[in-house]
């Protein structure tokens, strides 16, 4: 009997050792809300017997993480998995560096679980090469309702209302708009204004298709002018501020509003705040029928060794399971990439985002984020973001000059 038990134990240990492997994960999920979200993945993966090796790189926009990834690949030691977005997934797939995940995808019915726009992001030449873990809505307005109640003001739903309310808040000594002076944050505000002022069709023509007439026309000039106007309603200490610090200004009542993606919600909830009570989440001004999406995905890089590949497969399978998609997105503030999830655990902000995503998809008003690397190559994305940020903080450049410079730079890169 003891001998049988010993053999059984040995078999279990050998099986565990065969399955167990190191999984080094490069990511930029480092703010308070994001860190608690990625912890969910680490815990669930380690419960399967694998060892998580964290390779986090600070910087909310992910620019530093992508520099680190490039350096590692050039040096010949890629991570097991890396957080990637949009065209970068396709870029690394073209280089032949990503592991195909078709076996896991077929077993998990990914074709049926993912909306078409998400499937296109994570496949290359018909093969799954990445796992989408969430969908973020970028065009969000986050507000501290106590401040609006205190001064008898309504939370704005149009840009005209926004500027009127911002002027009044400023007169009361309140910073109207919390902003971080990093280029990607300026780019985020810019693209939200482009959607609100020009609409989804203009956004797509100008910033996705890069149509020269749309890039340099009167609508784009109006977008730049309105974008610059908002600069008058942020505080003087903006330069270099991280996005989550800007969010904390709204959380603590130092500022009234922030234009930011729904990852901001994780900062509110991690501070013990409740949606609809302590903070308000609505579509940014004039964007209620549009949806700028930003999707976090993890791509698996080709590694040798059965245990390493098994760990990657287990991680890919885990990330598409309902339990993980629910837990991760509840912590992150986003909504699941996997469709057909139980909505009951999600708060009013997330449920509204789910509804708006589906409605925008049906109306053709889903558009990819420029600032967050969902629509363009890194070179064009960087040019748009740097051009808009430089104009935002310039004291002398006109909107017409900025538009002409950006359009000329994009043309040179195409």
Q: How confident is the model over 204-242, as pLDDT tens digits?
A: 999 999 999 999 999 999 999 999 999 999 999 998 899
Residue 293: what pLDDT? 97
Query: Exposed, middle or buried: residue 259 (CB in 10 Å: 0-12, 13-18, 19+)?
Result: buried
Mean pLDDT of the chain: 91
Give the structural domain span for 36.
18-136+294-351
Choose among 269, 263, 272, 273: nearest CA to 243: 263
Query: How far apart, in whole angstroms, are the C-alpha atoms of residue 137 and residue 366?
Result: 10
Which among 180, 155, 178 is positioned nearest to 168, based on CA atoms? Answer: 155
Write the pLDDT tens digit of every residue in 233-273.
Answer: 999 999 889 999 999 999 999 999 999 999 899 889 889 99
- Pairwise CA distance, residues 86 & 150, whole Å: 42
State the residue for tokens 């885990």.
318
Average pLDDT of 307-336?
92
153 and 257 inside one domain: yes
Q: Is 8 inside a domain boundary?
A: no
* The pLDDT of residue 175: 98
pLDDT level of residue 8 (50, 70, 90 thresholds): very low
Please indicate, yes or no, whether residues 120 and 202 belong to a single structural domain of this protein.
no
| 343 closest CA partner among 332, 355, 358, 357 | 355
Q: Residue 55: its pLDDT value, please?
A: 93
Q: Are residues 213 and 280 in the same domain?
A: yes
What average pLDDT does the segment 123-144 reach? 97
Give the mean pLDDT of 322-343: 92
Q: Does 4 map to a domain?
A: no
- Which pLDDT band, with edges at 50, 70 and 90, does 1 fall under? very low
Q: Are residues 275 and 327 in the same domain?
A: no
Q: Evaluate if residue 2 carries a pLDDT over 50.
A: no
Strands (E), 75-172: 81-84, 123-124, 127-128, 130-132, 136-137, 140-143
Same domain, 124 and 194: no
The pLDDT of residue 391 is above 80: yes
Co-location of 174 and 314 in the same domain: no
Contact 65, 285 (CB under 8 A): no
Q: What CATH number has the domain bearing residue 154?
A: 3.40.190.10
* Count of C-beta atoms within a 10 Å radius of residue 7: 10
Note whether 307 and 192 are same-domain residues.
no
- Please indicate, yes or no, if residue 357 is contained in any of the structural domains: no
Tell whether 208 is covered by a domain: yes
What is the predicted pLDDT for the residue at 333?
Answer: 86
Q: Per-residue pLDDT for 12 more than 70?
A: no
The predicted structure's pLDDT at residue 34: 78
- How many domains does one find in the chain? 2
Task: Please check whether residues 299 and 333 belong to one and the same domain.
Answer: yes
Same-domain check for residues 261 and 285: yes
* pLDDT at position 314: 93
Q: Are residues 185 and 278 in the same domain?
A: yes
Residue 3 has pLDDT above 70, yes or no: no
- Contact present, 185 and 179 (Cβ < 8 Å): yes
For residues 193 and 234, membership in a common domain is answered with yes
Residue 240: left if φ>0, alpha if ψ -120 to 50, beta else—which one? left
At 39 the three-state DSSP class reads helix
Do 25 and 84 fall into the same domain? Answer: yes
Separation CA 335–CA 342 (nearest Å): 11
pLDDT of residue 266: 82
- pLDDT tens-digit profile of 149-190? 999 999 999 999 999 999 999 999 999 999 998 999 999 999
Name residues whose C-beta falls within 8 Å of residue 183's C-beta, 6 or more positions apart in sequence: 61, 385, 386, 389
């Amino acid at each position: 009997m003891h001998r049988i038990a010993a053999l059984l134990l040995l078999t279990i240990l050998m099986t565990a050792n065969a399955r167990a492997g190191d999984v080094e994960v490069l990511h930029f999920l480092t703010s308070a809300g994001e860190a608690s979200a990625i912890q969910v993945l680490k815990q669930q993966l380690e419960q399967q017997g694998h060892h998580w090796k964290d390779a986090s790189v600070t910087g909310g926009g992910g620019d530093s993480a992508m520099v680190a990834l490039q350096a590692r690949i050039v040096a010949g030691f890629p991570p097991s998995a890396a957080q990637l977005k949009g065209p970068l997934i396709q870029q690394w797939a073209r280089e032949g560096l990503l592991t195909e995940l078709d076996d896991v995808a077929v077993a998990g019915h990914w074709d049926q679980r993912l909306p078409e726009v998400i499937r296109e992001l994570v496949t290359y030449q018909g093969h799954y090469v990445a796992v989408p873990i969430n969908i973020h809505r970028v065009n969000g307005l986050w507000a501290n309702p106590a401040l609006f109640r205190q001064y008898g003001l309504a939370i704005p739903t149009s840009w005209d209302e926004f500027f009127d309310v911002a002027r009044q808040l400023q007169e009361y000594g309140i910073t109207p708009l919390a902003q971080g002076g990093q280029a990607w944050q300026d780019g985020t505000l810019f693209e939200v204004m482009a959607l609100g002022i020009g609409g989804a069709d203009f956004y797509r023509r100008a910033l996705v298709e890069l149509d020269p007439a749309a890039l340099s026309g009167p609508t784009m000039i109006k977008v730049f002018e309105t974008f610059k106007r908002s600069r008058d309603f942020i505080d003087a200490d903006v330069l270099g501020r991280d996005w989550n610090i800007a969010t904390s200004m709204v959380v603590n009542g130092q500022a009234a509003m922030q234009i930011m993606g729904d990852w901001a919600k994780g900062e509110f909830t991690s501070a013990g705040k409740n949606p609809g009570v302590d903070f308000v989440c609505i579509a940014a001004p004039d964007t209620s029928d549009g949806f700028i999406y930003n999707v976090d995905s993890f791509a698996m890089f080709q590694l040798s060794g059965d245990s390493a590949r098994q760990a990657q497969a287990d991680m890919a399978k885990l990330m598409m399971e309902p339990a993980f998609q629910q837990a991760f997105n509840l912590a992150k503030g986003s909504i699941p990439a996997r469709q057909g999830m139980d909505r009951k655990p999600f708060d009013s902000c997330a449920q509204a985002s789910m509804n708006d995503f589906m409605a925008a998809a049906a109306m053709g008003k889903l558009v990819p984020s420029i600032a967050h690397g969902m629509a363009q190559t890194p070179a064009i994305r960087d040019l748009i973001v740097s051009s808009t940020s430089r104009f935002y903080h310039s004291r002398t450049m006109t909107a017409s000059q900025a538009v002409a410079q950006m359009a000329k730079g994009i043309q040179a890169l195409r």
